[in-house]
Amino acid sequence: MCAGGHSDVLGGAVSVRSKEVFERLYSARLLAGNPLGTMESFLLLRSLRTLSVRMRQHSGSAWIICQWLDKHDLVKKVYHPCLPHHPNHKESTQLKFPTACFSFETQVCCFVESASFFLNKTRITLLFCLL
């Protein structure tokens, strides 16, 4: 989940069914001393307060882009569950915020050529890496 929307906090949760596994993990956590600190908890809480707004915007923007790509002459196929031709379209109608992730195939057969064409035609291109 993308809870930290400001790239300034890292946290996580572990869920298990077995009480035995839970007790072993809990003991290891106590020994390692890895609970979130006060500042990290504050940062995570701040980010959680804007999570629904960010997810709504992510999914809305992705949907607009997918619809545009789906009609584009140089795009062979778009993969997004909200599109009617996607195999999971029916299930996607039950989601409050459909996924912001999508992919597409271009008519251009060479990957480097199509990627260069696409990036050169976008007005804002931001390359990043999440670690």
Q: Where are the domains of the chain?
A: 1-49, 52-121
User: CB-based burial of residue 108 (10 Å sphere; 0-12 exposed, 13-18 middle, 19+ buried)?
Assistant: middle
Q: Which residue has the higher pLDDT, 29 or 123?
A: 29
pLDDT at 124: 64
Can you give the pTM of this predicted structure?
Answer: 0.61
Judged by DSSP in three states, 78 sits in strand
Q: How far apart are CA 120 and CA 78, in angstroms?
A: 19
Query: Is residue 131 pLDDT above 50, yes or no?
Result: no
Q: How far apart are CA 105 and CA 80, in angstroms?
A: 12
HSE, CB side, 13 Å, CA atoms: give it for residue 127: 3
Does the domain at 52-121 match CATH 3.40.50.11740? Answer given as no
Digit-coded pLDDT (tens) for 102-121: 888 887 666 677 777 777 77
Q: Which of 5-9, 22-26, 71-75, 76-80 has the lowest mean pLDDT?
A: 5-9
Instruction: Count Cβ atoms below 10 Å from residue 15 Cβ, excluding itself.
Output: 5
